[in-house]
Homo-oligomer: A and B are copies of this chain.
C-alpha cells in the first residue's frame, strides 16, 4: 500500500501497557463504585465542544493550552480541558434535569502543556459534582465521596485541606487589597514556590512588602478566620458547617482548615480543597476541587450553585504504586490449556470453554501445534497458576493432567473433577471466586 511509516507517539502522550492499564482500570472501577455508593450517577459528554463553550473559564494561562481547530464544517471546536465546564454546559442545556443533580464523570482531558516529568497532554480525570444546591451539605457530600474513594483504594493516611474563596476575599478586603484574582493566584503558589516567591509576586502587583508578609501570616494561621468573621460572617459560617458535617460523618481525621488553599482557576467562589497523602509529602494534591456558584450563570443566564471534586488519576496511580496498594489486582490468566498433540485439540478447546463458563481466566497458546516446552513457557509468561496438559493418553482415558506451575506437581483427574479443583483453587486465590 505504501512504504514503511515510522511508528511514533506524539510528545506528551502515552501508551499504557497491560499491567499498568489493568491496574488503572481496577482503580477507576473502585472510584466509580465509591461515587455510586454516595449517590453520584454517571454521565458522559463529548470529547469535542464548541470553542466558545470552553473560552473564558480557565484564565489566560489555561486558554493557551486548549487544543482547538476548525472541523469539517469550519466550526471552531476544541478538545475538553476539564470535565467541569462540560458539566456546566450539560446542565444549562438540559434544564429539565431534577436538582440537586449529583453526577460523576470519568474521561480524558487535553492540555497542550509543556511536557515534563509526570505531566501529560492527555490525562484522565474522575469528577464528582453536585449542581443546584448552595448547601454546605453539598460541599460535604462531594468531599466525603472523594474520601471514600481514596479509602476504597486502601489509602488511610491522607488529609483534605479545605480553604474558602469567600473567607480569603474577606481577608483581602480587610487588608484593603482590591485586585483579588491575581493575589489569590499568587497565594495558591505558597506550597509549591515558597513564601519568598509569593511575596515577590504580590509586591509586583503593587502591594507593599509588609502588607504581603502580614497577609501571608494571616492566611497561614487561624487568625485569618477571626479577621474574616468580621468582614464576611456568612463565609466563615459556611466553612465551619462543612467541617462540622464532615466531622459528623466520621472524617475528622481526614479534614483540616487551610486558608492558604486558593486554587488557580477563575471559576471558584466558595470552599476549595486539596488532598495530600501524608506518607508521600513531596507528592502534590491527588484530589482537589471547590464550589463554583457563578460558572453555570455564564450558560444559564441565572446563577446555579455547584460544587465538585476532581481526582487526578496519574498522581493517584503513582501513589498507589509507591505504597504497594495494587497487591490485590491479579494479572494474567489462571490456567493455560496445553494440547500436546493434534488429536488433543478438540478436548482441549472443550475444556477451555468449561473453564471460561465458570469465569476462570484461561487460554490456549494460539500457535498450534507447539512443542510442550514452548507451551509451558507461554503459561509461565502469562503468570498462570496451572497448566492443563492434554495428550493422547488424556484423550483416550477422557481425563486431564493438571500441573501446578509453582511446584511442578501433576495430578491426573477426571474432566469434571479437574474443573471443580481449578475452580476451588481460583476461588481461594482471588478470595471470593470472582477474580479481579
Contact = CB atoms under 8 A, between A and B. Distances in A.
Interface string A169-197: 00000000000000000000000000000
A90 B140 CA distance: 43
B298 A363 contact: no
Contacts of A18: 41-43, 103
A42 B46 CA distance: 23
A75 interface: yes
Interface string A59-94: 000000001011111010101000000001110111
Contacts of A4: 297-301
Given A9-B46, A37-B361, A98-B381, A90 B15 contact: yes
Interface stretch (A48-56, A160-168, A415-423): A48-56
Interface string A14-51: 11111001101100010011001111011111111110
A25 B42 contact: yes
A39 B363 contact: yes
A44 B71 contact: no
Assembly of this chain: how many copies?
A: 2
Nearest to A68: B69
Given A42-B25, A43-B18, A368-B135, A48 B2 contact: no
Contacts of A39: 332-333, 361-363, 382
A250 interface: yes
Interface stretch (A201-209, A231-239, A315-323, A345-353): A345-353
B43 A10 contact: no
Nearest to A144: B353
A127 interface: no
Interface string A110-131: 1010000000011000000010
Contacts of A397: none
A10 B75 contact: yes
Contacts of A353: 144, 249-250
A135 B43 contact: no
Contacts of A148: 356
Nearest to A92: B7
A282 interface: no
Given A16-B43, A41-B332, A100-B367, 17 more contacts: A1-B298, A4-B297, A4-B299, A4-B301, A7-B93, A8-B89, A10-B48, A10-B77, A13-B48, A25-B42, A37-B361, A38-B361, A39-B332, A46-B122, A47-B47, A48-B121, A140-B349
30 contacts: A1-B294, A4-B299, A4-B301, A5-B52, A5-B298, A5-B299, A7-B88, A8-B93, A9-B49, A13-B48, A15-B90, A15-B94, A16-B43, A17-B94, A21-B41, A21-B44, A36-B435, A37-B356, A38-B363, A39-B382, A48-B67, A67-B69, A67-B72, A72-B112, A133-B366, A135-B367, A135-B368, A137-B367, A144-B353, A249-B353
